Structure 1
């Protein structure tokens, strides 16, 4: 018994992909979800996200309150997805076949892959700068290639190493960002920059949207990392561990970002990595903080690569009726994804990356209706009863294409357009709201209601959960 446990705990290359994780391979506790999502959120991009609320005109105090509300609201949606993992034993996006059809699920999947690539590319550029500062070189390609290689290695090893990196990122993030917060209060009179701008509803709603949007983006990720938990794991424990890790980690980082923006303004946004180094003080300490940045960004970039290959595999296998692939094929998918993200980071101009990032942020509107449909179906329509073998059979219970669900999904995207407030496009109703972006809330509520009434009449869930071994 002792030898089997030690063998189970060894760091080996993960062999599971989009297939169900058997009970014999289940392990771990919900605590692992807390450290993973805390580490993934306690990173420099979350700091930038919090800073944007102040840059766009909110008072730092009201920005922090708004970000908290947004993180709490979005975190509920995000954690409800995570709670599906132990019961289904499946990666997140494969479960979308129950709503959209085995092949119809490829439509939101393609947009999800594009999001993964965009976030991976922009994150690679940022972290490449930190690596170059550590090495003392001024060739962007050096840091980008090193970071890409690290990302590929961790993603290929998979689940266990990803969670290990998450635990490391949690520890380094707490120490590193606590030190930065201390430096900020020592070097600046932070309290003098709080509550200096009167409350304004548009900027307050913007802060809420930034927090909620950040959490909603993780919807396609989360069950990938909870699916190995034992099947009998209480959903409430998975929910609260994921929720707490993601919300606390992101709120700490975003609050620091709001304070930094309040005292330093555009100096931070112009060179986020450089500003962190200057704030840290002595060169040796700055290098340590750059390492903290690298570890934090590595955690979330691995999630992009891992989720990107899983989503691509889910889309491709829908047309080939496969339930698993070989480790070599898995490695090819991951390396291919990382190479594409590095190429974007290497060849793109600064303007292109900025525009591409804005385009990716615009794509966030596709995840809100997807979340609404997935959660309403799982918790209210199917009531946690899924025919898992049918998810791999286009002739089975869920069919190849669920046109009704796809139409609701499209409508869920369209209804958000008048409420958008993005750099690429601002909706007409947004101006009436003073520039506040409430598109995510509109998309979530309308899509949930539409799908519920449509699916209640057309859905055919099984009488109980059907696992492969039950067939």
Structure 2
């Protein structure tokens, strides 16, 4: 990009900074600024619908509440720890992970990160499109193919426009979206609270320990762990003197506050109405709208779309940065545009041609969740071991102190991922048969049995659906990295 073009682009408010180190003069953010993007991205009414997936593990309301509070808070706390790296290195998350994996070796987790971000942002765009069609149908305004086409294009345009604009515009946008979606969510709760039936909620039977663990893993994966690969992207503009503890606290508070409240309320709604609980599986937002008065449907739709767009904007902005970290040599706005095209194509395919998307997507999420959890364990351990800021120049030089490949980290991630995949199962064996190879360690360990029933394959036992592999990958990678890379980190920090 020429100097004149860059200056004109910046004058229009578009961020031109890509994966390079943030200039000291631009590092003006304080920890409390992190509240806005994380809260806005997670105040979506989709959080209410998530309760249907949690109760799908056949656990009681109180078990589900405990799982929600602990799972959400812990998962965003991990995001907060990763966010410290942004302040220490002034670069995007996946660039900073070069210190742990090597400048070239970072491309291994980078591809996983890019696929995860693309998957999440496409998922949110799909939800917005389907919700528009459902609500328009309730209003008697159509809701067919034409509505879906327009909704798909409008949603994609909003997401791409904001992500191309970049950090500064997104931060301003998120603060406004927080108020709009927050007020709409409070009104939704007020208008639907009469549907809560505490007798039905309290009658939900308790589930096994394996079911509780499975719900816990789902909550962690669906919330904080789903964002952990981009956590430092929003803290790289923090001042040098910003407190690490404050960064963790504001990141955790902003990310966890809305989901905890919304999922618990969703548990009350879904626990009161079995029809609502089952409808959430195919069209989460649209199903939640079925219990609203007609006059509030349109404001609810606008708020729901804006909330989903808010989350997708964070994803596509960061997926563009990850694309650059993989070696694609294009300006950051163009990288976001490329990912926007992929998002649009993916949304069109799922909405108009796929028979089901919720079930295959969750299978896809758990599959990527295992290597992502392993990467998080390695990255957090690497942060714990480091006592100094990153050598910023070495993050871009394979001959520098971080080297080209760190085979200990890469080997740890590969082994932890393979073991983890052996302890997770495809919960939707009928809809995503391509994933039925997972769980290959469960039968040898006596934790479950795969039943290839013609009516639909499934797993027997209390532990298969606990998806222990995600926790194993996270903890094992953390412990191995602490033990195996401490000397390496010391050498890196002394320049030896």
Unaligned segments of structure 2, at least 5 residues: 1-9, 428-434, 449-460
- In 2, the alpha carbon distance for the partners of 1:301 and 1:441 equals 26
Aligned partner of 1:413 in structure 2 is 417
Query: Is 1:338 paired with 2:347?
Result: no
Aligned partner of 1:70 in structure 2 is 71
Aligned partner of 1:315 in structure 2 is 326
Give 1:401 shift: 1.4
Q: 1:358 aligns with which of 359, 363, 367?
A: 363
Aligned partner of 1:4 in structure 2 is none
Q: 1:293 aligns with which of 284, 304, 326?
A: 304
Aligned partner of 1:212 in structure 2 is 220
Residues 260-317 of structure 1: CA deviation (Å, up to 9, x unaligned): 32123213333323223222212x3111111111111111101111111100100115
Q: 1:303 aligns with which of 314, 323, 342?
A: 314
- In 2, the alpha carbon distance for the partners of 1:344 and 1:357 equals 16
What is the SS of the residue equivalent to 2:493? coil
- In 2, the alpha carbon distance for the partners of 1:61 and 1:232 equals 42
Aligned partner of 2:379 in structure 1 is 374
Choose 425-434 or 443-452, whichever is displaced more. 425-434
Aligned partner of 1:280 in structure 2 is 292
Aligned partner of 2:59 in structure 1 is 58
Unaligned segments of structure 1, at least 5 residues: 1-8, 465-471
- In 1, the alpha carbon distance for the partners of 2:286 and 2:132 equals 12
Aligned partner of 1:224 in structure 2 is 233
| Contact kept in structure 1, 2:46 and 2:284, CA below 8 Å | no
- In 1, the alpha carbon distance for the partners of 2:182 and 2:426 equals 32
Give 1:11 shift: 7.2
Choose 260-269 or 72-81, whichever is displaced more. 260-269
Q: CA RMSD in A?
A: 2.3
Query: Is 1:184 paired with 2:192?
Result: yes
Cα gap change, 1:358 to 1:169, in 2 (>3 Å): farther
Cα gap change, 1:368 to 1:315, in 2 (>3 Å): same
- In 2, the alpha carbon distance for the partners of 1:297 and 1:356 equals 16
Residues 136-185 of structure 1: CA deviation (Å, up to 9, x unaligned): 55322211111111111101111122222322232233322222223332
| Contact kept in structure 2, 1:130 and 1:143, CA below 8 Å | no
- In 2, the alpha carbon distance for the partners of 1:48 and 1:416 equals 28
Structure 2 counterparts to residues 97-112 of structure 1, below 5 A: 97-112=98-113
| Contact kept in structure 1, 2:127 and 2:283, CA below 8 Å | no
Q: 1:442 aligns with which of 447, 465, 472?
A: 472
Residues 326-376 of structure 1: CA deviation (Å, up to 9, x unaligned): xxx322211111111111111233336342452233211111110111111
Aligned partner of 1:246 in structure 2 is 255
Choose 101-110 or 254-263, whichever is displaced more. 254-263
- In 1, the alpha carbon distance for the partners of 2:463 and 2:203 equals 21
Cα gap change, 1:51 to 1:165, in 2 (>3 Å): farther
| Contact kept in structure 2, 1:41 and 1:253, CA below 8 Å | no
Cα gap change, 1:279 to 1:352, in 2 (>3 Å): closer
- In 2, the alpha carbon distance for the partners of 1:60 and 1:162 equals 37
Give 1:420 shift: 0.9
Give 1:119 shift: 1.6
Aligned partner of 1:46 in structure 2 is 47
Give 1:227 shift: 1.0
Q: 1:143 aligns with which of 140, 144, 151?
A: 151
